[in-house]
Structure 1
């Protein structure tokens, strides 16, 4: 299983609707509001890195009022340590 965390910056005042829309996307396991430069932290789990890229580019970045994203890919080899 591949895991990635996506930091999302949204339009001011639209954080809750963006959060709600993100939680409706398949493979999104968690989405939490945060303080700071980014507004939402999203956890994605998928069977491949290619699938994660598709979710981010075709789903998350297309959500209305999502302005920017930064992706943090988990190193799968370190999960078993």
Structure 2
């Protein structure tokens, strides 16, 4: 299982709506609107890195109001 944090910047005033919409996507375990350089932080999981990529590109980035994403895979040592 691959886990990642997805840091999201949104259009002004859209953070809560984006977090709510993303929280309904399969593979997303948590989505919260926050303050700081990013507007929403998402915790996601997938079976493989390829599946994670498809989740981010096909599902997360298609949510209305998102302007930029940064995916940070979790590294377990």
Question: What TM-score do the two structures reach when normalised by structure 1?
Answer: 0.90
Map of 2:57 onto structure 1: 57
SS where residue 29 of structure 1 aligns?
Answer: strand
SS where residue 61 of structure 2 aligns?
Answer: helix
Map of 2:15 onto structure 1: 15
Map of 2:45 onto structure 1: 45
Moved over 4 A (4+): none
In the alignment, structure 2 segments of 5+ residues that lack a partner are none
Deviations 1:38-71 (A, max 9, x none): 0011001111111100000001110000100001
**How many residue pairs are counted as aligned between the two chains?**
77
1:2 aligns with 2:33: no
Shift of 1:14: 1.1
Larger Rg: 1
User: Alpha carbon RMSD of aligned pairs, Å?
Assistant: 0.8
In the alignment, structure 1 segments of 5+ residues that lack a partner are none
Higher helix share: 1
